[in-house]
């Protein structure tokens, strides 16, 4: 989405979700900013420790615990449908950053996806 990202993750047993999110934010922001993978809007510039810099992620995130496979699949399909519902894409596969194309077997995508067994894209 232009102003936010959706992420469905399933951490391995014994991994702290907070630590995992922190590392994901740190590593992805470093790469996105350094490699200029996307054009960041001006409101992503912040003042930290007296220096102006880019900030890709917000300090906090909204989460929803998926306690069943059905709910996880519902959230994945929500993510696939969101750009179409918002009028940003005509078809599910048109949104560049969607995992939809990966799940239907295409591999020429900007982000590879770990398989979630049983995903049925709609």
C-alpha dihedral (109, 113, 20, 80), degrees to nearest 10: 80
Which pTM value belongs to this model?
Answer: 0.69
* Alpha carbons 112 and 21: distance in angstroms, whole number: 18
Tell me: the pLDDT tens digits for 59-89? Answer: 777 777 888 888 888 999 999 999 999 999 9
pLDDT band at residue 40 under the 50/70/90 scheme: confident
* pLDDT > 70 fraction of the chain, expressed in percent and rounded: 91
* Alpha carbons 80 and 98: distance in angstroms, whole number: 6
Lowest average pLDDT, out of 37-41, 52-56, 67-71, 88-92, goes to 37-41
Please say if the pLDDT value at position 29 is more than 70. yes
Q: In angstroms, how far is CA 108 from the centroid of its own chain? A: 17
* Alpha carbons 35 and 17: distance in angstroms, whole number: 27
* Alpha carbons 81 and 93: distance in angstroms, whole number: 10
Please say if the pLDDT value at position 57 is more than 90. no
Q: What is the mean pLDDT of residues 5-18?
A: 80
* Alpha carbons 40 and 44: distance in angstroms, whole number: 6
């Amino acid at each position: 989405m232009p102003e936010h990202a959706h992420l469905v993750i399933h951490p391995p047993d014994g991994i702290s979700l907070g630590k995992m999110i922190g590392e994901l934010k740190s590593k992805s922001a470093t790469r996105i900013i350094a490699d200029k993978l996307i054009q960041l809007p001006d409101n992503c510039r912040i003042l930290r420790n007296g220096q102006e810099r880019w900030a890709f992620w917000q300090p906090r995130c909204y989460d929803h615990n998926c306690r069943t496979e059905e709910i996880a699949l519902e959230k994945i399909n929500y993510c696939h449908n969101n750009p179409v519902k918002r009028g940003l894409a005509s078809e599910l596969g048109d949104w560049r950053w969607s995992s939809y194309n990966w799940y239907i077997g295409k591999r020429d995508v900007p982000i590879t996806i770990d398989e979630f067994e049983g995903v049925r894209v709609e």
